[in-house]
Amino acid sequence: MADEKQEKMEVLRKFADVAALAGIRGEIDEEELMFVAGFELKAGRSQMVYVRPLPGSLQDKDAVCIHSPCRRVKKGFMRGLGKDQALELLLLNSELMLARYNVVDFGDEMLVMASVYCALETLDPSELEDYFWHIAIAADNYEEKFGGDDF
């Protein structure tokens, strides 16, 4: 387990170096094993963007998942994500260039997230900056549609 944590920390350190070159101000959360950055957007809105390390996951090369939550959905009868909303997410995915929407199950609730996976080895600063802004804006647009600014 300690080796896995060290591998993830090493990926996060490499990622943080690229982020710094891209002008992205964030920090490594050593407890959660994520890189975290906040973005100020239009009309006083903001969005948090997280990076999860994926050591050795891309043909034995390191990758990262850049993601931002945009909607919390409770599970249960007459709750959750309806069929029409799920189809809408799929349609919205076809309009996005550097992000996609997905749903992550957290037991009693699900989170709709905007995300992208990328190889760390070939990630350059300008590409990373594009990913971060596209993820933040896609997540915020979806969140704003439901009247929130929670993330």
The answer to whether residues 132 and 37 touch, using CB atoms and an 8 Å cutoff, is: yes
Average pLDDT across each block of 10 residues of the chain; the chain has 151 residues. List them in order: 87 97 95 94 88 90 94 70 80 86 84 93 94 93 76 63
The model's pTM: 0.87
Q: What is the pLDDT of residue 92?
A: 85
Contact 65, 51 (CB under 8 A): yes
